[in-house]
Amino acid sequence: MHRTSPTQLLYLGAIGAYTLWGIAFFNGTLDRMNAAIEKGVMPDGRALRSTYTGYPLLDGRLTYLSAFYEVLSNSLTTGPRLLFLDLNFVLSSTLLWVFIESRRRGVRNISLRHPVPFAMLWNALGAAFIQPLYFYAITQSQATTRDPTIPLNEAIALFVTTIPTLLFPLFLFAPSYLDWSTYEHHGYIAKFLGTPFLMVVICVSTIALMWPKFGLVSPKDAKKPNEDKKWIVASYAMAGVIAAIVHIATIIACLQSLDGDINFTRLFVPTLSKVSSLSTASGIHNGTVHASILPVEYQKLVEGYHIFTQFDTIVVTFSCIVFVHWLLSNQGNTKTPGSKNMSGSEIKELASLVVGSVLIGPGAAGSFALAVRESRLREEKPTGKLQ
């Protein structure tokens, strides 16, 4: 079996761009949302919030994004909301992954040192499009070969930042569970879109609190060069546990629910003909209390964005598997020169990632695997030419 390759991430980014935006264009989802934005009213009659910052250009973009996120996170549907919840906890885990990679002493590339703009982009343009490309950029770095360690004060701050980062999706879903108004819900969605910056604020604030002890950047202790490792491993483990809980709860809901809107195929298997086939108010959401009252145009909008989320989930899952497996198999300069095929241990690790992604989700499986990788990194001795 051929090795996983960074090039596969480029292919996945291209697939993500098409499956998200190409399909949304061809099935009319973008036209429906544009019409709703132009009218300022959703097809079910709810008004769209149009003012957030007072800057028209920024508010226009926030209006579009808030409408998209609100359709998938409100209480009018069950299946689409459940899948979107699961996906966002996966993305919270991957946000932590790239933030940890950015803090390694060996990072030289400014785009890898500051991942927040790219996290904002995948929230705005679709993770299946942007995230594989950013993962690819990380695979091209020699940061871990130079020095995989992280300053101790930053490692501690990363651990402190982990739980808030993993709970950021609550900005999206808490308003609907608490039965807040659409206007308030849109406001919290806008706040969610800024959470990558909030993550940095929390991290920097924690570093500032430790200033008297460590200074701006704690020096590397020659006697204990890997004292940061336990904090990083703990961060990965915490991310894995939380992402696993959410994914397992999603799977259990699919298996136990009598609601026709919540089952495995409904959540995870895209049905491209679904949008065009809707002609009556009962076209989707069979078994939900809302099916008989939602206008057909709103149902089509929901279904179009649910398909968007399904492909987002599929591509993100494959991207996580490829990215994490490549990192596991390519520590420093340990890659076997000229070898195109995986070793037996690499095949087992890939199989574990695939099975884990199904059972506990890609966010959890990847986080646990990266915790293992962290120990391997500290066993490497930098050799060879660095770029």
DSSP string across 126-193: -HHHHHHHHHHHHHT--HHHH-----HHHHHHHHHHHHHHHTTTHHHHHHHHTT--HHHHHHHHHHHH
Q: What is the pLDDT of residues 184-201, one digit of tens each?
A: 999 999 999 999 999 999
Q: For tokens 């690499």, what's the residue?
A: 346
- Residue 149 · residue 226 · CB < 8 Å: yes
- Give the model's confidence band at 72: pLDDT under 50 very low, under 70 low, under 90 confident, else very high: very high
Euclidean distance between CA atoms 195 and 96, whole angstroms: 12
- Region of poorest pLDDT, from 25-34, 266-275, 277-286, 357-366: 277-286
Cα-flanking dihedrals φ and ψ of residue 149, to 5°?
-75, 160
- Residue 185 · residue 140 · CB < 8 Å: no
Specify the 3-state DSSP secondary structure of 341. Answer: strand
8-state DSSP, 103: T
Q: Is the predicted pLDDT of residue 292 greater than 80, yes or no? A: no
**According to the model, what pLDDT value does residue 284 have?**
47
Q: Is the predicted pLDDT of residue 148 greater than 80, yes or no? A: yes
Q: Is the predicted pLDDT of residue 276 greater than 70, yes or no? A: no
Furthest CA-CA distance within the chain: 71
- Residue 172 · residue 69 · CB < 8 Å: yes
Q: Is the predicted pLDDT of residue 290 greater than 60, yes or no? A: no
8-state DSSP, 240: H
8-state DSSP, 40: T
Q: Is the predicted pLDDT of residue 380 greater than 70, yes or no? A: no
Cα-flanking dihedrals φ and ψ of residue 333, to 5°?
-110, 30
- Give the model's confidence band at 39: pLDDT under 50 very low, under 70 low, under 90 confident, else very high: very high
**Contacting residues for 16 by C-beta, under 8 A, at least 6 apart:** 126, 127, 128, 129, 131, 132, 311, 312, 315, 316, 319
| Among 108, 152, 147, residue whose Cα is nearest residue 380 | 147
The token pair at 137 is: 């950029």
Q: For tokens 């770029």, what's the residue?
A: 387
The token pair at 149 is: 């360690």
Euclidean distance between CA atoms 356 and 33, whole angstroms: 36
Mean pLDDT of 303-328: 96
| Among 127, 76, 133, residue whose Cα is nearest residue 311 | 127
- Give the model's confidence band at 215: pLDDT under 50 very low, under 70 low, under 90 confident, else very high: confident
Mean pLDDT of 236-251: 97
Report the predicted TM-score, pTM, of the whole model to 2 decimal places. Answer: 0.91
Mean pLDDT of 73-77: 92
- Region of poorest pLDDT, from 38-47, 150-159, 339-348: 339-348
List alpha helices for the chain, DSSP H: 6-17, 23-26, 29-39, 56-73, 79-102, 110-113, 116-125, 127-139, 143-146, 152-166, 170-177, 182-193, 195-209, 211-214, 229-256, 264-268, 274-277, 296-329, 344-359, 362-377
- Residue 272 · residue 23 · CB < 8 Å: yes
- Give the model's confidence band at 335: pLDDT under 50 very low, under 70 low, under 90 confident, else very high: very low
Q: Is the predicted pLDDT of residue 262 greater than 50, yes or no? A: yes
The token pair at 328 is: 């596991």
**According to the model, what pLDDT value does residue 341 have?**
78
- Give the model's confidence band at 82: pLDDT under 50 very low, under 70 low, under 90 confident, else very high: very high
**According to the model, what pLDDT value does residue 333 have?**
37
Euclidean distance between CA atoms 294 and 382, whole angstroms: 60
Higher pLDDT, 289 or 315: 315
**According to the model, what pLDDT value does residue 334 have?**
42
